[in-house]
Amino acid sequence: MKKSTAIIIVFVFAFLTGGCATIPNAPQAALPTSMVFEATKDKVWPLLIAEVGLNYPIAAVEKESGLLTTDFVNMPAGFDNRNMRKWVFPPGGFFATWAGLRMKMNIMVVKIEEGKTKVNIRAHYEAFESNVSKSWIVCRTNGAMESEILARIKEQL
């Protein structure tokens, strides 16, 4: 009986001192969020406005500077943000539960040389953690939405 008690104590000790150590994840690569188009800014700008304006609420349009900004929009991430992986690398969190994902964009359109225009889309995502912190947590984009917008513009040129 003493031998089995000693074995149990060793396993309990190993379990308690072992902790929950995990191997850190390698940084995940995101899809491209900028693209250079073989077109003038005057050709790219209306295509960008059409792509973004039909799907996201535009907050500011400054064609001269090339800046387009949207307001926050709620993303259809589903229950407990199960679909957030479509757009972001999910944030971690101890006992975290998620109840919403929102996004806004800042887009810059710049003429880099004659007949070439660069479009850079910076999407800012936040997920609402509803269990512990009860606050919006910034999430890193995976570039899927930005890359999709850029691809649709490229198709139309």
The pLDDT value recorded for residue 7 is 67
Is 20 contained in some domain? Answer: no
Task: Return the pLDDT at 1.
Answer: 57
Model pLDDT for residues 41-59, shown as the tens digit of each residue:
999 999 999 999 988 999 9
- Of residues 35 and 21, the one with the higher pLDDT is 35
Closest CA to 30 of 127, 120, 141: 141
* Domain assignment present for 124: yes
- Domain encompassing residue 131: 31-156
Tens-digit pLDDT profile for residues 98-130? 999 999 999 999 999 999 999 999 999 999 999
Structural domain includes residue 103: yes
CATH code assigned at 149: 3.30.530
What is residue 17's predicted lDDT score, i.e. its pLDDT? 52
Number of domains making up the chain: 1
pLDDT in tens, 53-88: 988 999 999 999 999 999 999 999 999 999 999 999
Binned at pLDDT 50, 70 and 90, residue 151 comes out as very high
Q: Where are the beta strands (DSSP E) in the chain?
A: 34-37, 58-62, 67-70, 73-74, 88-89, 98-113, 116-129, 135-141
Q: Is the pLDDT of residue 9 over 70?
A: no
What residues form DSSP beta bridges with 129? Answer: 98, 135
Instruction: Name the residue with higher pLDDT: 54 or 147.
Output: 147
> Largest Cα–Cα distance in the chain?
86
Expressed in angstroms, the distance from the first to the final Cα of the chain is 80
Residue 21 lies in a domain: no
Instruction: Give dist(CA 108, CA 41) in Å, integer.
Output: 11
Give me the pLDDT at residue 23, please.
43
Nearest to 64 by CA among 116, 118, 108: 108
